[in-house]
Chains A and B, each alone.
Chain A
Amino acid sequence: MSETIVIAEMNNNAIHPSTAELVAAAGALGSEPTLIVPCTDASAADGATSWNGISNIIAAKSSAFENYDAAGWASALDAVMPQGTIITGTSPQSKDLAARIAGHRGMPVVQDVVKIDGNQVTSPVYSGKAMQTVSLGGASVISVRSNVFSPVQEGGENNVSVVDTTGNIATSVQEFMERASKRLDVSEANIIISGGRGMGSPENFSHLEAVADTIGAAVGASRAAVDTWEAIPHSMQVGQTGKTVNPNLYIAVGISGAIQHLAGMRSSRYIVAINKDADAPIFKHADYGIVATWEEALPVLHNKLQTMME
């Protein structure tokens, strides 16, 4: 494999820890990558100076990185990135950037990689109902899911070269709108607790929120919950026509486990299901299945988690 480049996942001008997994993925492709850090302040790159497995770090500094614009980011990064295979994360923004850069450089892109073997990479297709392995015949862009590769460890010593760059920003921001809820979004969370129609009413989601607050989880929902209750926004929906999530722990409460819901969460590392119907399909996918009503199970779960977290 020729050169590899990792584009750091960023969060408030700091490197997101999942970036260390992307560096490990580059290692699996066979080379120590150049780590590119898109930033407005080069100190953002300091977060990775002690990581192993990196050949060098470039802090790509530009005001273009203040807000996300696909054209602006791709052109600003293209100007400072070496040639080679490029690796990004799989947040919606990162997948968009991966595709835009691939287009910019006339390269192919493969999204949502969950396995790397030589130059062969595997991703879920048909909403996770099948896996597809492809061979990369040349330099490509790939986005790699989190919780697949073990992050590279500390212990290295990397220098940062700071490079100023500019991007051709196409879109312009008219307005930022805060999320109605201050809660973590399901696409950003490592633990998710989701409710379905079995919750009975949108007010009952407060029981899910209580658990979520105890363990730092995000609250999600099935489409039936989103469609039935105005108070449950589409931004919470997990599944085929909602968000695809890949957390360490997914707790499904009052959710039957329809194929379209599974499409969005089946690759979660651990799945807990609470449902009063022992035959609910969700139980086939649960690591821990509890046949009970949520009215019985959630207070017990909440109490126990509270004592555990003290």
Chain B
Amino acid sequence: MPNIIVLVKQVPDTNAKILVSGESVDLSAVKMVMSPYDEFALETALQHKEAAGGEVTALTVGGPGAEKILKDAKAMGVDHIVRVETSSSMDTNALQTVLKQAITNLGAEVVYCGKSAADTGAGSTGPGVAARLGWASASNITAATFDGGVSVMTPGNGGNVKLSVPLPAVISCDKGNLKVRKANIKGIMQAKKATVDVHTIESPISTVTVVNQSLPPAKPAGKSYQGGDAAAEVAQLLRDEANLL
């Protein structure tokens, strides 16, 4: 029966306005939530357990504030919740080295994560952690079936590809056609009582360091037209002014 880990990350609500004060983003007034794709990873992990047995552990690397999303995961049905304490900002090498160590300590046959986190938008963690563990990886999957191993659907070759993924593996999840389950009352009650396992892991020095964060440059106001006939003029401008088409 597989030991299943799902990686979850706390990010600003995607509706939130992002403010910059000085040279960095100020998140102090922003509501924090589980990164949207992590919900699909969590749902996939729970379905894997339902098909094959085993246990699901939700794992996050972050400050104490991130325990809220671990409780959310617990309410949805994971068995264990683990937070790895971080002190400073980490580059991907430091973060993934810490995740590798945490996954090794916990022991797992399969790790699910989001295809990209809503803050970084990167999509680096799944394939990067898999490489560091020496495991297989499949990314941006839109469906998974559990038939002893794991078969997944990913985009590729101008269509979709159905892949067999040998375990151990790290699998990053896109939205697909999954419906993410809602926590029920029993789950919510259990989550209230659950305790978060807190670990500390030494991280290597980060060589990529943040210099500054800023708002994107404002776009100059565009041209505005009334009525459908203007579409002809716009088409012409796309060629004459924008050098497109």
Kindly identify which residue among B37, B92, B121 contacts A244, using a CB–CB cutoff of 8 Å: B121
At the interface, yes or no: A30 with Cβ under 8 Å from chain B? no
* Contact B124 A270, beta carbon cutoff 8 Å: no
Beyond A103-B131, A137-B207, whether A127 also contacts B238 by CB under 8 A is no
Q: Is B44 an interface residue (CB 8 A)?
A: no
Contact with A along B202-233 (1 / 0, CB 8 A): 00001111111111100100111111111110
A92 CB to nearest B CB, Å: 6
CB-defined interface of A160-196 with B at 8 Å, one 1/0 digit per residue? Answer: 0000000000111111111100000100000100000
- Measured between alpha carbons, how far is A131 from B153 in the docked complex, in Å? 33
Whether B132 pairs with A289 at a CB distance below 8 angstroms is no
The reply to whether A137 and B245 form a contact with Cβ atoms under 8 Å apart is no
Residue of B whose beta carbon sits closest to that of A128: B216
Q: For residue A101, give the distance in angstroms from its CB to the closest CB of chain B.
A: 8
Q: Which of A71, A177, A215 contacts B137 (CB 8 A)?
A: A71
A133 touches B211 (CB 8 A): yes
Knowing A171-B138, A248-B244, say if A100 contacts B131 (CB, 8 Å): yes
Chain B residues within an 8 Å CB radius of A159: none
* Contact A138 B207, beta carbon cutoff 8 Å: yes
Contacts of B25 in A (CB 8 A): 125-126, 130
User: Does any Cβ of A come within 8 Å of B157's Cβ?
Assistant: yes
Q: Is B183 an interface residue (CB 8 A)?
A: no
| Structural contact, B228 and A290, CB atoms closer than 8 A | yes
Contacts of B201 in A (CB 8 A): none
A95 to B213, CA, bound (A): 22
Give the residues in chain B near A263, CB-CB below 8 Å. Answer: 14
Nearest CB on B from A231, distance (A)? 14
Q: 8 Å CB contacts to A: which residues of B189-211? A: 206-211
Determine if A171 and B164 form an interchain contact, defined as CB atoms under 8 angstroms apart: yes
B123 A99 Cβ-Cβ under 8 A? yes
Interface residue A234 (Cβ < 8 Å from any Cβ of B): yes
Judge if B185 is at the interface, Cβ distance under 8 Å: no
Partner of A102 from the list B93, B165, B211 (CB cut-off 8 Å) is B93
B120: interface (CB < 8 Å): yes
Interface size class of B (residues with CB under 8 A): 35 or more
Residues on B with C-beta less than 8 A from A95 are 122-124
A127 and B14 contact, Cβ closer than 8 Å, known pairs A177-B160, A301-B235: yes
In the bound complex, do residue B208 and residue A131 qualify as a contact, i.e. CB atoms below 8 Å apart?
no
Residues of the B chain whose Cβ atoms lie less than 8 Å from the Cβ of A104: 131
Is B182 part of the binding interface, using a Cβ–Cβ cutoff of 8 Å? no
Interface size class of A (residues with CB under 8 A): 35 or more
The answer to whether B228 touches A296, judged by C-beta atoms less than 8 angstroms apart, is yes
Interface 9-residue window, one of B55-63, B64-72, B76-84, B169-177: B169-177
A70-B211 contact in complex given A171-B163, A263-B14, A303-B232, C-beta closer than 8 Å: no
Q: Is B20 an interface residue (CB 8 A)?
A: yes
Docked complex Cα distance between A242 and B36 (Å): 11
Q: Mark A119-142, 1 if CB is under 8 A from B, else 0.
A: 010001111111111111110100
Assess whether A292 is interfacial by the CB under 8 Å rule.
yes
What residues on A are CB-neighbors of B118 within 8 Å?
Answer: 126-127, 240
Which of A111, A140, A290 neighbours the largest number of chain B CB atoms within 10 Å of its CB? A290
Contact of B164 among A101, A174, A298 (CB under 8 A): A174
Complex alpha-carbon distance, A112 and B227, angstroms: 37
A102 to B108, CA, bound (A): 22
Residues of chain A contacted by B166 (CB below 8 angstroms) = 170-172
Q: Quick one: given A70-B139, A270-B244, are A298 and B161 in contact (CB under 8 Å)?
A: no
**Complex CA–CA separation, A124 to B215 (angstroms):** 9
Q: Mark A245-266, 1 if CB is under 8 A from B, else 0.
A: 0001100000000011001001
Determine whether the beta carbon of A176 is less than 8 Å from that of B161. yes
- Picked from B120, B155, B206, B227, the residue with its CB within 8 Å of the CB of A125 is B120
Smallest CB gap from A101: residue in B: B131
- Which residues of the partner chain B approach A131 to less than 8 Å between Cβ atoms? 213-216
- A141 to chain B: closest CB distance in Å? 9
Q: What is the CA–CA distance of A243 and B235 in the complex, to the nearest angstrom?
A: 26
Within 8 A of A (CB), among B6-22: 12, 14-15, 17-18, 20
> Smallest CB-CB separation from B217: which chain A residue?
A131
Could you tell me the distance between the alpha carbons of A178 and B177 in the complex, rounded to whole angstroms?
Answer: 18
Bound-complex Cα distance A127 to B16 (A): 11
A-B contact pairs, 27 of them (CB 8 A): A68-B156, A70-B130, A71-B135, A95-B124, A100-B127, A100-B131, A102-B92, A106-B93, A112-B122, A124-B216, A125-B119, A129-B216, A131-B214, A136-B208, A170-B137, A173-B161, A173-B162, A174-B163, A179-B159, A191-B244, A260-B15, A269-B242, A270-B242, A272-B234, A283-B224, A288-B237, A292-B226
Residues of A within 8 A of B (CB): 67-68, 70-71, 74, 92-93, 95-104, 106-112, 120, 124-138, 140, 170-179, 185, 191, 215, 234-235, 237, 240-242, 244, 248-249, 259-260, 263, 266, 269-272, 274, 283, 285-293, 295-301, 303-305, 308-309
Going nearest first, the 8 A-B pairs with the smallest beta carbon separation are A296-B228, A103-B131, A170-B136, A137-B207, A297-B228, A99-B124, A103-B128, A301-B231
